[in-house]
Amino acid sequence: MKILVVDDDPGLRSLVGLALERAGFTVVTAADGQVALMQAAREAPDLIVLDQGLPELDGLEVCRRIRARSEVPIVFLTARDDELDRVLGLELGADDYVTKPFSPRELVARVKAILKRTRGPAGEVLRQGVLCLDIGRHSCAVAGVEVALTGTELAILRVLMLTLGRVTGRAQLVDAVWGAGSPVSDRTLDSHLRNLRAKLAAAGCAEAIETLHGVGLRMGSCGGS
């Protein structure tokens, strides 16, 4: 698999690139936002590691432009401690973030986890009413019309559809999507859920995900039977 690493620090690009190559990935790099957009279009990477604090065209704008045409998984690298900045990145469509300074081993583990959850078993197709989720093809459709989901949004929806008719606790959902013990905050989960609900509502499934306050979440109705 091919990973695009975007950071204006050549030392960090080299460090991250070497760690990913040792893990078996092919790595391409970019030092700024404009080159990152060109590399993303030309190289069609399987995942992008993107510095949030790029000069000129920052990581948030790069993410916004990539999301306008692609659902490739994106992991933000951020030196910012403000959770609002991280939440903004998630709301723009990023799948995860790693705060600097970080361990290259931790980043590689995050990358592997995201790729694993966004590439489910081939042939796995889940349905609820007019909602159809094809995991192997990374495809979601409502009444035959495709709905573009990020890898994390697809993984959340998959867990809820696999537990159809049952309530999934928030902690249980985090463990299933990000892995047991992942330090994922409630605001991070809420950001992904908000984006997912908005996309499904725009497609005609406003009641697809129900919240039972103090208990958890479950799949609701989405037309059909």
Q: Give the CATH number, domain containing residue 171.
A: 1.10.10.10
- On whether both 139 and 40 belong to a single domain, the answer is no
Boundary of a domain, candidates 118, 137, 166: 118
Cβ contact 126:219 at 8 Å: no
Tokens of 46: 């399987």
- On whether both 37 and 101 belong to a single domain, the answer is yes
Tokens of 134: 């094809």
Q: Which residue has the higher pLDDT, 123 or 98?
A: 98
- On whether both 131 and 107 belong to a single domain, the answer is no
Cβ contact 73:140 at 8 Å: no
CATH number of the domain bearing residue 68? 3.40.50.2300
Q: CA 165, CA 212: separation in Å to the nearest integer?
A: 13
Domain-located, residue 224: no
Boundary of a domain, candidates 60, 83, 118: 118
Domain-located, residue 13: yes
Domain-located, residue 19: yes
- On whether both 6 and 113 belong to a single domain, the answer is yes
The model's pLDDT over 160-215, given as tens digits with 9 standing for 90+, comes to: 998 888 899 998 998 888 877 676 778 888 889 999 999 999 999 988 999 998 89
Domain-located, residue 195: yes
Nearest to 156 by CA among 130, 137, 183, 135: 135
- On whether both 75 and 154 belong to a single domain, the answer is no
Domain-located, residue 225: no
The model's pLDDT over 2-58, given as tens digits with 9 standing for 90+, comes to: 999 999 999 999 999 999 999 999 999 999 999 999 999 999 999 999 998 888 899
Which of 5-19, 66-80, 105-119: highest mean pLDDT? Answer: 5-19
- The domain tally of the chain equals 2
Q: pTM above the 0.85 mark? A: no
Q: CA 37, CA 32: separation in Å to the nearest integer?
A: 9
Coil vs helix vs strand at 193? helix
Q: CA 67, CA 61: separation in Å to the nearest integer?
A: 10
- On whether both 109 and 8 belong to a single domain, the answer is yes
Cβ contact 16:107 at 8 Å: yes
Domain-located, residue 201: yes
Task: Give the domain range for residue 22.
Answer: 2-118
Domain-located, residue 61: yes
- On whether both 145 and 214 belong to a single domain, the answer is yes
- On whether both 7 and 106 belong to a single domain, the answer is yes
Place of tokens 């459709």: 141
- On whether both 8 and 108 belong to a single domain, the answer is yes
Boundary of a domain, candidates 74, 102, 118: 118
- On whether both 52 and 72 belong to a single domain, the answer is yes
- On whether both 109 and 25 belong to a single domain, the answer is yes
- On whether both 143 and 88 belong to a single domain, the answer is no
Cα dihedral 207, 168, 184, 24 sign: negative
